[in-house]
Amino acid sequence: MRRLCLSLFLMLAFAVASYAQITYTSLDFPGGTLTTARGINNHGDIVGAYRLFPPRHPLLIRHGQYIPLAPNTFLGTTLSEAFKTNDRGDVAGSWVDDAGFSHGFLLSKNGNVTTLDFPGASDTYARGINESGTITGMWDLVDANGNLLITHGFLWKDGNFTQFDFPGSGDTYLFGINARGDLVGGWDEAPTSPLEHGFVCSKQKCTSFDIPGISATQAEDINARGQIVGAYLDASGAVHGFLKSEDDFTFLDFPGAVLTNAWGINSSGQIVGNYNNADGSVHGFLAQRAN
């Protein structure tokens, strides 16, 4: 994730935290040294990345089959990762050039790859896409020494960028968008701030939220029902996933993992994300409520 140096902003003092019965399935590219799962659409298609040898490349998981995405394009040779896919099969993600700068991409269902660069940005990160083809993400500016100056959110549609900032924020990290156009992400007061807060924005209003008693919260996807998934940082510095349904939080931890991050959710409530084992290995997962 772009940031998890976050903190507490008690907007949801009456929220309820719970540990529901969740079933987890590990996702691992055959023979791979790394697998991530970042997004899932309403058909159950999962996107993320795989690695045999560095670097990682975009991945589609469909009906149990692990399918490299656009292997004959530059995405098959550069450090790149898919983050979200819509029901049409369009995929949004990011790739890194030889100089170390990040760019967004749109991989259309027809196989065409479009690079996305916010005008004047140092880095551009594409993180979400909805059914209308609107892409969300972030762009930043860094100085000559590589120090981060500021980060803004963006929306992209049909070749046009629009900057998005959570009201009153210093930095905005925009991750997910649903079919209605609701947005989720994180915000802080300045690049040097150790605090970050989750947010959800509809066409009517923007609301900041944090998990009560937790040091940090970041929202990373939202489905058509308004359910939100993301990650939080506890007092010891460990990362855990969460599911937010209205004011109820369900905590998500892959069994035995030292880190769990929930990245995507579809309208059926299926959740995908990543987990790390104690040996540092990275795996994807699919989670859903037990029957």
CATH code of the domain covering residue 177: 2.120.10.30
Using CA atoms, how far apart are residues 87 and 65, in angstroms rounded to an integer? 18
Q: Is the pLDDT of residue 16 over 60?
A: no
CA 183 to mean position of chain CA atoms? 12
How high is the mean pLDDT of the chain?
Answer: 92
Q: Give the pLDDT of residue 12.
A: 25
H helix intervals, 58-154: none
Statement: residue 18 has pLDDT above 80: no
* Confidence tier at 136 by pLDDT (50, 70, 90): very high
8 within a domain of the structure (yes/no) = no
Reported as a pLDDT band with limits 50, 70 and 90, residue 8 is: very low
* pLDDT value of residue 20: 59
Do residues 256 and 9 lie in contact, with contact meaning Cβ atoms separated by under 8 Å? no
Indicate whether 213 belongs to any domain: yes
Average pLDDT of the segment spanning 217-235: 96
Other Cβ atoms within 10 Å of 12 Cβ, number: 20
Query: Bigger pLDDT: 8 or 2?
Result: 2
Token digits of residue 246: 């209205």
In angstroms, the CA 14 to CA 65 distance is 43
Q: Report pLDDT for 291.
A: 61
Confidence band (pLDDT; 50, 70, 90) for 204?
confident
The residue count of the chain comes to 291
Q: Which residues pair with 187 in a beta bridge?
A: 172, 197
Could you read off the pLDDT of 251-272 as tens digits, one per residue? Answer: 999 999 999 999 999 999 999 9
Q: Given this model, what pLDDT does residue 192 score?
A: 79
Q: Is residue 11 part of a domain?
A: no
Q: Is residue 215 part of a domain?
A: yes
Number of domains within the chain: 1
* 289 vs 218, higher pLDDT: 218
Tell whether the model's pLDDT for residue 13 goes beyond 90.
Answer: no
What pTM did the predictor assign? 0.92
Pairing status of strand 248-252 against strand 16-18 = parallel
Q: Collect all residues with Cβ–Cβ distance below 8 Å to 267 and sequence separation of at least 6.
A: 42, 223, 224, 225
CB neighbour burial string for 173-183, b if at least 16 within 10 angstroms, e if fewer: bbbbbbbeebb
What is the pLDDT at residue 191? 81
Q: Is residue 195 part of a domain?
A: yes
- From the list 178, 166, 111, the residue with the least C-alpha distance to 138 is 166
Mean pLDDT of 273-277: 98
Choice among 5-9, 32-36, 94-98, 220-224 with the minimum mean pLDDT:
5-9
Q: Is residue 6 part of a domain?
A: no
Cα torsion through 195, 283, 105, 162, rounded to 10? -30
User: Is the per-residue pLDDT at 216 higher than 90?
Assistant: no
Give domain status of residue 212, yes or no: yes
Confidence of residue 193 (pLDDT cuts 50, 70, 90): confident
2 belongs to a structural domain: no
pLDDT at 118: 98
Q: Region 134-157: what's the mean pLDDT?
A: 97
Domain that holds residue 281: 16-289
pLDDT at 221: 98
- As a whole-number percent, the residues of the chain with pLDDT over 90 amount to 85
